Chain A
Amino acid sequence: MPLIKDGCIVEDDWTHVPDGEAVPADRPAIISFERFQAERATFEGRNAALGVRVKSGTLAPAIAADLERFALIAIEFPKFRDGRGFSTARELRERYGYEGEIRAVGHFIPDQYQFAVRTGFTSAEAPANANPESWARALTEITVAFQPSLDDPQPLSLLRRRLGA
């Protein structure tokens, strides 16, 4: 899966580890949140970074207590139409002050990428055959926003503002 950051395809340091498979101790690994809950003691004292993958129905309050254990939170979109992840990311940032990486995984399309950035995501996994141009353009084609957002901390002040101006 190509990883998209700041509109570009970048190297991915992280490995997704399916449930039941061994978690590499020496490099960044993403496990399911369910596995973390079941085997949490196993990960005490781990040196390499740990990330969790949360299902769209697992909302921010459910993972809030353990946030300091995670260097990355991968929020799953089972279908791109399921927009719960946008609220989850926002709550993680605004309500719980999470500062690690938040990644969109699953069925996620370039047309949602700007929304993701504005709600606090830092990266997205694109499908294998992704058109890099569509992902790059997704961040620049609309330059006006009407709401405050995570990437732009100004208050509602003018309601209408230019992005990045």
Chain B
Amino acid sequence: MNHIAPGRNAGVYNYDEIDRRFVSERVEQFRAQVARRLSGELTEEEFKPLRLMNGLYLQLHAYMLRIAVPYGVLTSRQMRKLAEIGRKYDKGYGHFTTRQNLQFNWIKLEETPEILNELAEVDMHALQTSGNCVRNVTTDQFVGAAKDEVVDGRVYAEILRQWTTLHPEFTYLPRKFKIAIMGSEKDRAAIRIHDVGVFAKRNDKGEIGFAFYAGGGLGRSPFIGKLIREWVPEEDFVAYLEAILRVYNQYGRRDNIYKARIKILVHELGQEKFTAEVEEEFARLRGPKYRLAPEIVAEIRRRFGGPSFEDLPPVSAALEQAKAANEAFARWVAVNVTEHKAPGYAVATVSLKPAGGIPGDATSEQMELVAALADQYSFGEIRVSHAQNLVLAHVKQDDLFALWTALEGAGLGTANVGLIGDIIACPGLDYCALANARSIPLAQAISERFADPARQQLIGELGIKISGCINACGHHHVGAIGILGVDKKGVEFYQITIGGDPTLTTAIGDILGPAVTEHEAVDAIEAIVEVYLANRHDGESFLATLKRVGHGPFKERVYAAH
């Protein structure tokens, strides 16, 4: 196998020979498992979790392969490999997911070992992206670049990636287990809707520690994660998680798939009893065997590449001139560009949500273009955000206009990050065997209705999230406007919720009223937006207006015609 060394400037963990050997052994192990399935030695029931733990999922029409993008960070070389796989083994495109991974939706089982082999060439894999194990750990897409960052979550996410990989005790859990970690003041990783949410912070002495939330999750019974410990010192990071997982593995329900997530255990035991169980286990586990020594953390940190920033003036004259000369560019900067911690740099988000497009989809050509732009402008590094967009995290402000011009030319210059067109949607009934309704056509219709970028900017931050069934992969519960697809006697209907919030002040949205048809849903969203605009005070967010005026005016307007 040809290993292609990643650029040392990209902020990814650089594999060594042991990491590579592990991944290639895993590929060969899966190849043998496929052969044992084909020979009948493994039953389909036995093979299923084995293929799921290699990222292979059977959907409505074909196999889907979900490739891990650890904590959402990719090198340009890795992105090019994804583009190549998309072209060679799929239909020339891929789909970025809400867990910062990439899915190919049209994969053949027998080609999978070869695809995994190709991924291994660029230090990638599809391990534990599915199945009842600890999944890819997600984090803030602005990690290492954000101005409000306190702790770089990547190092700890990588420690978790390694520690959870083929964990001998926790690979056959009651259900899947998702961890998110964030280390900045603003929660961009939605940690309280995860099985475990970790908030990395520093104490007065500057030491790193973690607050732990447990039992969050959406699906048919949405719960917000409960704070179970305010401070876990860095050296106990692994021991504490081991304690949580051991309690869950032993006491989590296995009699009913819908009650098997840790959120149900936390709910049924109660926060206090659950916390006591974890603390008891933690007290026993704490000690030299599970101690995360500072040397280990330092060693993992050392293996990360990273940009070396130039000394630049904080304000770029070139940027100011370009903004003044070009209204569309100025809007893109206002909407898609975020402050960087280094003077003269900026964080640019590439929207994968063009009007009428499929949220999160990118063609192989688009992936290659973004890879080239990352090489040119952002140290060869790309991030995937949980909102299904891409991020170039370290762009010189001087270069923003050239970057935007290139993106715009490829249909990637949409200025709608965080706005109403930046819709999160699950694959829905177009792909998924579980779905009750399609999500993609509705997302397309809504984004077309609000296609005007000036109008989107006027409306301001407003998240729409669409799920095609109650499993809630589109996170509809925490959308400011959430849409849930339901099936009523064979007809697709959509139930609208308002008031959801995915940040640390997490809230589950309330159902507005009876479900509506696809066509009515677009009008209903427009009605909700109009009520908001008519009622909002200066600078007031949708959630703040809703809180002040209540559901009444929204409900009245949406159902007025009925």
Contact = CB atoms under 8 A, between A and B. Distances in A.
Interface of A: 59, 80-84, 86-88, 90-91, 94-95, 109, 111-112, 114-116, 118-119, 131, 134, 137, 141-149, 153, 155-162
A32 B46 CA distance: 27
B246 to A, nearest CB: 6
B162 A119 contact: no
A117 B254 CA distance: 23
A62 to B, nearest CB: 11
Contacts of B296: 156-159
B293 A81 contact: no
The 4 closest A-B pairs by CB, nearest first: A83-B172, A118-B168, A115-B168, A144-B22
Contact of A81 (B49, B163, B246): B49
A87 B132 CA distance: 15
Contact of B169 (A86, A141, A142): A86
Contact of B22 (A88, A112, A142): A142
A88 B500 CA distance: 40
A159 B238 CA distance: 11
Nearest to B167: A147
Contact of B33 (A59, A111, A145, A146): A111
Interface in B21-47: 21-22, 25-26, 28-29, 32-33, 36, 41-42, 46
B1 interface: no
B171 interface: yes
B18 A87 contact: no
Residue with the greatest number of chain B CB neighbours at <10 A, chosen from A84, A137, A161? A84
B289 interface: yes
B256 interface: no
A62 B290 CA distance: 25
Given A141-B28, A157-B296, A148 B162 contact: no
B291 to A, nearest CB: 6
Contacts of B505: none
Interface of B: 16, 18-19, 21-22, 25-26, 28-29, 32-33, 36, 41-42, 46, 49-50, 132, 159, 162-163, 165-173, 238, 246, 249-250, 254, 284, 288-293, 296, 299-300
26 contacts: A83-B170, A83-B173, A83-B249, A86-B168, A86-B170, A86-B171, A87-B246, A87-B249, A90-B169, A111-B33, A115-B169, A115-B171, A119-B168, A119-B169, A142-B29, A142-B166, A144-B18, A144-B19, A144-B21, A144-B22, A144-B25, A146-B166, A155-B289, A160-B16, A160-B162, A161-B18
Contacts of A116: 168
A54 B296 CA distance: 39
A80 B131 CA distance: 14
A86 B249 contact: yes
B25 A142 contact: yes
A144 B162 CA distance: 11
Contacts of B238: 156
A97 B452 CA distance: 68
Contacts of B41: 131, 134
A158 B302 CA distance: 13
A27 B288 CA distance: 41
A147 B171 CA distance: 13
B169 A137 contact: no
A147 B162 CA distance: 8
Nearest to A141: B29
Nearest to A89: B169
Contact of A159 (B36, B50, B300): B300
A143 B130 CA distance: 23
Contacts of B28: 141
A158 B295 CA distance: 9
Contact of B166 (A145, A148, A155, A158): A145
A85 to B, nearest CB: 9
Given A141-B29, A148-B289, A159-B159, A86 B42 contact: no
Contacts of B163: 146-147, 159
A59 B254 CA distance: 14
Best-buried of A144, A149, A162 by chain B (most CB within 10 Å): A144
A159 B284 contact: no
A114 B25 CA distance: 14
B162 A155 contact: no
Given A147-B163, A159-B296, 4 more contacts: A82-B172, A142-B22, A142-B166, A146-B162
Given A87-B246, A111-B50, A160-B18, A80 B172 contact: yes
B19 A87 contact: no
B132 to A, nearest CB: 7
A87 B166 contact: no
A95 to B, nearest CB: 6
A59 B292 CA distance: 28
Nearest to A162: B18
A160 B186 CA distance: 32
Contacts of B170: 83, 86
Contacts of A149: 168
A109 B132 CA distance: 16
Nearest to B28: A141
Nearest to A150: B168
A147 B16 CA distance: 17
Contacts of B132: 81, 83
Contacts of B249: 83-84, 86-87
A109 B46 contact: yes
A59 B252 CA distance: 12
B172 A112 contact: yes
Nearest to A94: B284
